[in-house]
Chain A
Amino acid sequence: MAKAQIVIEGLTKTYQTPVRDPGLGAALASLIKRRYCSVEAVRDVSFTLAEGERVALLGPNGAGKTTLLKMLAGLLRPTAGTASVAGFTPWERHYAYLRNISMVMGNKSQLLWDIPPLDSFTVLARIYDLPQPEFQAALDELVALLDLGPLLNSPVRNLSLGERMKCELVAALLHRPQILFLDEPTIGLDVSAQRRLRAFLDDYNRRHGVSFILTSHYMADVTALCDRVILIHQGSLLYDGSLRTLATRLAPFKLMRVTLNQALEYEFVAPPETELVEQTEDSITLRVARSATSTVAAQLLQQLPVADLVIEDAPIESVMDQIYTGGQL
């Protein structure tokens, strides 16, 4: 077991958000006396992360994932709790700490819009005091891994979203940080761009032992990159462990799809221990308790004009939906 690189204990963040009623009168009144309401974005979250480990933070919009990442990146001060990342307290923002980390935000760019990425990279090399040979070596490696060559010299505004995201990653990794915070890095990318980005992150993590914490709403990112997931709901830690365990624990059922070779002439009634998910003219989808899978399958084969029958695990998306809407495990 590698040694712990990130240790956080009881991390809590409460925002004070100004509130007012709509309308001009209320706007004027709020100039004199502002009302605030407290929003607990993160409540008492604790976990540790080893060097080189890859973890996904999961949770619905507004669960507190980004707030948690921002505290770890030193952008926010917690209301309570402690964190030690690579031996530093993030929100003290020691330059030595900032040189050790990087944060990629899917919806924020650190590249200058009107100039080619190569110019932005050169500026970053100066900001991080990278000696020329180190800068060149890091750049060459990243350019090769991400297949960037010709993009380096066009203004950023002329790049596609996928190309820009690759450049964002180069910008984030030039100074070879040991810890990477990825806040929805694949947001808005097409499926093949997502896949390439995942492959890159996977490869880069293996080569350099960089740890990362990722937030994403694309479960494909999570399944491809992180064995360990941390589930946050309404600011609290709900689960910390492997994705597989979570899925079996949460989805003690399988999906059974039956394709019919002729339309039913009577109303189909779902057997016991199953739930009808969808029915069309030539297909039926059922949610079946794991333990009843074989019995139900035999039953269906016997009763229905079956052309094809498929049994599969519940998609991870629907598992997540179940948690997000239910709010508990």
Chain B
Amino acid sequence: MALRGEFVAYYLILIVVNQVTFAQTNWTVGDLIRDGSMNILLLRPLPPVLDAVATELAGKGVFLLFVGPVTLGLSLLLKPELEWTMIGVMAFIPALILAWLLRFLWGYALALLAFWAARADALLALTDAAIFLLAGQVAPISLLPDLLRTFAVLLPFRYMLSFPVEVLMNRLDSTGLVLGFAMQGFWLVVALFASVALWHRGVRRYAAVGG
């Protein structure tokens, strides 16, 4: 029975973390570039990425208003079992924030490819597929076959979703925890550099549709 309770806890936390880290604006940034609405943002004295960040934060507030009660209802019904530890909770908060930043910046960098290609958002769909497979959605990482697990640990997708869940559920020993944060940090830096570089090159290229 304990195993069932743990599974329930895992997936309930996964639902919430997925909602918190899902970057819905990445799907619209490409449209802004293609249809020329980016012009409006470029005319303002602040970095256009802040428009996406603001939309993200506002969206999170609204989504969580719904997801919160639903998760609460489900947990009353399904009786999850979770052993809290102080260190787990304390590590969970930064892991969650970094996961959102990573998922956001990774998606933002891909969305910026719209400066070059008309349908860059196909890559976002690919990312979602990878997250389904390698970020603990189809099954917890620890239950994946060896090869997939290796991919999951090395690629960035786990650190966008499953890692904070594993942290909160105490699934990691201290080495796993440190390595996890290191990988998360590494991919975050990669995504940040990619976004900045693509932005600067893209804006130079930007052909501002119409006229």
A: which residues have CB within 8 A of B?
A: 15, 41, 64-67, 69-70, 73-77, 93, 95-96, 98-99, 101-103, 105, 107-110, 127-128, 183
Contact = CB atoms under 8 A, between A and B. Distances in A.
B39 A75 contact: yes
B39 A108 contact: yes
Contact of A66 (B37, B42, B210): B210
A102 B43 contact: yes
A128 B45 CA distance: 7
Contacts of B40: 108-110
B interface, size bucket: 10 to 19
Interface stretch (B6-14, B71-79, B148-156, B200-208): B200-208
Contact of B211 (A67, A93, A102): A67
22 contacts: A15-B207, A64-B211, A66-B210, A66-B211, A67-B211, A70-B211, A73-B43, A74-B42, A75-B42, A75-B206, A76-B207, A77-B204, A95-B45, A96-B45, A98-B43, A102-B43, A107-B210, A108-B37, A108-B39, A109-B40, A110-B43, A127-B45
A41 B211 contact: yes
Interface in B44-93: 44-46
A65 B210 CA distance: 11
A130 B210 CA distance: 32
Given A76-B206, A108-B40, A110-B40, A65 B211 contact: yes
Interface residues of A, dominant DSSP: mixed
A165 B186 CA distance: 47
Interface string B155-170: 0000000000000000
A192 B204 CA distance: 41
A111 to B, nearest CB: 10
Given A64-B211, A76-B207, A109-B40, 7 more contacts: A15-B207, A66-B211, A74-B42, A75-B43, A110-B43, A127-B45, A128-B44
Contacts of B185: none
Given A76-B206, A108-B39, A127 B211 contact: no
A95 B207 CA distance: 21
A127 B36 CA distance: 21
A141 to B, nearest CB: 22
Given A108-B37, A108-B40, A110-B40, A76 B208 contact: yes
Contacts of A110: 40, 43
Nearest to A67: B211
B43 A74 contact: yes
B45 A105 contact: no
Given A41-B211, A67-B211, A75-B208, A98 B45 contact: yes
B75 to A, nearest CB: 33
A127 B42 CA distance: 12
